[in-house]
Amino acid sequence: MSRILTLILIFFWLRLSSQDPAYHSFTQNRFLFNPSLTGSYGAQAWKVRSKAQWNNDGGGGYKTVSLLFEETMPCSILDVGAKVNYNEEGAGIYQTLDFGFLTSAFLPFHTGRHHDHNARIGFDFSWGVNTIDFSRLVWSDQLDPKYGNINPTSFTSNNQGRSAWYLNPGIGASLRSLWFKKRKKAFMTNMGIAMYRFYSLNEGSINQSVSVLGLQNDNPYRISAFLRPNLFRSITENSLFLSALLYCIKNKVLLIILRPASGLDIPKARVWDCSVIFHLSTNMVNHPG
């Protein structure tokens, strides 16, 4: 039975997504990567999602809830959006709550005789807080080599397992272009770059420390860039060749996603989608003496 199920999952024409608290799925979370893409649908849009995984063993598992909203303002260069993201994981019920408002604006850009360009800049004003239930965790001083977990722990939390409210600012820019617009084989490109947490606040009740232990550490920055071209239209005029390249670096961890996609028979909306993800990590350690 397991072999049959494996074959079905390999050859089935549906995309399977795993737990994604970092929102690596760019297509469904565009303005979470780049706030300048807020309102790029051209209409009001709502997204409500919930996901739970790995709860079979009775442990904490993973749970994610996301509520996204964006609105294209009529007769205005401004578009607005809002987000609420909640993530829960592990035996200690480590919870992350992130919410805020987004806005983007159209920038005047010269359009040529053969090309059209749409430049946008966006801002993300959001806040977050992290919590954990330390009483659900087992500490090393509680363990007895013979009888197991029988001892009380000496661990105490200064802030009851709750971080301060931290600021999560972001700024992004994007450029969407239509090339050779008068030709039958015109194509489009969409590219952009965004920066999150590009400065740090370490003082006060609202800062950028995400530590549930009360440590004054910095919330690591994140830089992301993407390129999504519509390369050409096929002879049958019913299929497209699309590709996307997403670059994201956070706390010296590099994520690159190359996503080729070929759409067959657009009226039926059947899409082949595959991803290749590379994780590269670098660490620098200074040894005294």
Tell me, yes or no, whether 241 lies in a domain.
no
Is the pTM higher than 0.75? The answer reads no
- On average, the pLDDT of the chain sits at 71
Sign of the alpha-carbon dihedral angle for 203, 204, 209, 211: positive
**Residue 244 covered by a domain:** no
Task: Supply angle C-alpha 82, 98, 62, rounded to 5.
Answer: 120
The answer as to whether 4 is a domain residue is no
In-domain check, residue 156: yes
C-beta separation of 94 from 130 below 8 A: yes
Residue 249 lies in a domain: no
Number of domains in the chain: 1
Distance CA 224, CA 36 (A): 12
Structural domain span for residue 92: 21-232
**Where are the extended beta strands (E) located within 148-204?**
148-149, 165-167, 170-179, 187-196
The mean pLDDT value for 40-63 works out to: 76
- Residue 250 in any domain: the answer is no
5, part of any domain? no
* Cα 29 to Cα 52: distance, rounded to the nearest angstrom: 18
Six-digit token pair at 142? 């509680």
Burial 37-46 (b: 16+ CB within 10 A, else e): bbbbeeeebe
Q: What residue type is 187 in one-letter code?
A: F
Nearest to 37 by CA among 168, 169, 176: 176
Per-residue pLDDT band at 263 (split at 50, 70, 90): very low
- Which helix (DSSP H) or strand (DSSP E) does residue 9 occupy? helix 2-11
- Residue 108 inside a domain? The answer is yes
Name the band, by pLDDT with cuts 50, 70 and 90, for residue 190.
confident
Confidence of residue 82 (pLDDT cuts 50, 70, 90): very high
